[in-house]
Every structure is written in structure tokens, then in C-alpha cells.
Amino acid sequence: MSMALEIFLARLYSSAVEVESFLRERPAYARAAGLPEEHLPDVLAIDAGTLRFALQSFEHKRRRSASA
């Protein structure tokens, strides 16, 4: 996985606002975030439910780590 794609996904997984912004206008959001065109097909294929589930999972992990 390229560094650009990793950074892009980390940005998504860290914020519900970012996820919803991405889901409203995927291509524009990805380009504005600086994602190279070569990654667009993969990113555009991400299932909305899966993305929201991953976000919730990471949020849960962060809350658990913060309270430990």
C-alpha cells in the first residue's frame, strides 16, 4: 500500500465528519485530499457500510486505549 493511500485512509478512519464528506462526493474528496489518480478506483469502490463499520471500530479502540 502506498504512503498516500495509507494517509488518506487514516484521515477517513479518524473522523465521522471526514467519512460522511467522502461519501457525499467521493472523487472530489479524494482528489482534494491529494490522493493520486492511480488509487481512485480502489477508493471509490469502498463500501459505505464497511467504511462506517471500520470508523466505529477504530473509535472504540481509541476510547479503550484512552481509558486504560
Domain residue limits at 63: 3-67
Is 30 in contact with 22 (CB distance < 8 Å)?
yes
- Structural domains counted in the chain: 1
Q: Give the largest CA-CA distance in the chain.
A: 40
The predicted pLDDT at position 49 comes to 96
Mean pLDDT over residues 28-50, rounded?
A: 94
The predicted pLDDT at position 16 comes to 92
Mean pLDDT over residues 6-28, rounded?
A: 93
Instruction: Select the more confidently predicted residue: 38 or 67.
Output: 38
The predicted pLDDT at position 1 comes to 75
The separation between CA 31 and the C-alpha centre of its own chain, rounded to angstroms, equals 13
Is 6 in contact with 40 (CB distance < 8 Å)?
no
Find the angle CA(6)-CA(14)-CA(30) to the nearest 5 degrees: 50
